[in-house]
Structures are given as structure tokens and as C-alpha cells.
Amino acid sequence: MSSRRGEIELSPDEQRELIESERIVVVSSLGPRGWPHSMPLWYVPRDGEIWIYTYAKSQKIRNLERDPRATLLAETGHEYGELRGVEIEAVAEIHRDLDTVYELALELTARYSGGVSSVDQEAAEALRAQARKRVAVRFEPRRIATWDHRKLGGAH
């Protein structure tokens, strides 16, 4: 029996659309005992890459400081025949520069607040204060696997 993997892969445009439309990415890093540490996170897509904003002292950041390898999963669908997703093996690049972190905080806030494109002055000042204790993380893709079960045409 031949593999059908090639038949269900997402095209680059389909992959970009999925990353831009989904709201949660599960980021798995390697914990201190060697076990996967998986966390669902909000994210910002930038040129097809995934960026996260999180506390600098969080477990996931401590893990990525020790070993920058991560696996990211964004998926959607309820029934088997609707499942679509992308799994990205990536290397984390941690950014601590306040301006970089703050800019990502603004993008994240706009993305998850119903498309509000600007943040008022008071909210912006609060985000800038929060950014001092947070980091921005860019995940540089190394290997990508994708699937779209809708392409199976009902045959499983």
C-alpha cells in the first residue's frame, strides 16, 4: 500500500492560511527531567513563522534556554475527515530587547482583541511595563509536516 502523505500535505499558501487563522499553538520543549513540556499558547504569525510572548521566568523559557529545540503544533477540525494541521520542528530564538518584546505585545493584543488595530495610551503603557518581565520568542522552522484530511475525499 502506498503512502498517501503526499496527497494530504498542505500547500505553502494553505499552511500560511492555517497559521494565520488559528489562535492556539501548542509549544513542546524539553523539561528538566527530559520529558516533553507542552503548553497551549497565543501567538503572532510573522511571515509564516510563529512568535510567542511569555514570562521570562516561565518553565518553557527555562527549557528553551537549556535546549532551544521545540516542536509546535497548530491544528483544527473536529471529525477525522476535517483534520488539518501543521507540526513544526524549530529552534527558539529568545528576544529580551524591550522594544522587540513590546512590539510583539502590541501585535498579540491587537490579534486577540477582535482586530482592534490600535491600543489606547493607558493600555500601551501597561503593556510596556509588562514587557520588562517578558520575552519574545521567534521559532525558526527546521522541519515541517502538514496534513489536511479533507483531501482524502471521505476515504480513510
Name the phi and psi angles at 152, rounded to 5. -75, -15
CA distances (Å), 51 to each of 33, 105, 139, in order?
26, 10, 6
Residue 142 binned pLDDT confidence (cut-offs 50, 70, 90): very high
Whole-model pTM: value is: 0.90
* CATH number belonging to domain 5-149: 2.30.110.10
- What are the pLDDT digits (tens) for 28-60? 999 999 999 999 999 999 988 999 999 999 999
Position 129, amino acid:
A
Helical H runs in 36-149? 59-66, 98-112, 121-131
Average confidence (pLDDT) over 101-129: 84
Cβ neighbour number for residue 115 with a 10 Å cutoff: 7
Between CA 14 and CA 17 the distance in angstroms is: 5
Q: Tens digit of pLDDT for each residue in 117-132? A: 667 788 888 888 999 9
Residue 2 has pLDDT above 50, yes or no: no
Which of 92, 82, 133, 127 is closest to 108 using CA atoms?
A: 127
Alpha-carbon dihedral sign for residues 78, 142, 25, 49:
negative
Please state the rounded mean pLDDT for residues 6-32: 94
State yes or no: pLDDT of 88 exceeds 70: yes
Q: Where are the domains of the chain?
A: 5-149
What is the rounded distance in angstroms from the CA atom of residue 64 to the CA atom of residue 75?
23
Q: How confident is the model at residue 1 (pLDDT cuts 50, 70, 90)?
A: very low
pLDDT of residue 117: 60
According to the model, what pLDDT value does residue 115 have? 60
Q: For a pLDDT cut of 70, what percent of the chain falls above it?
A: 92
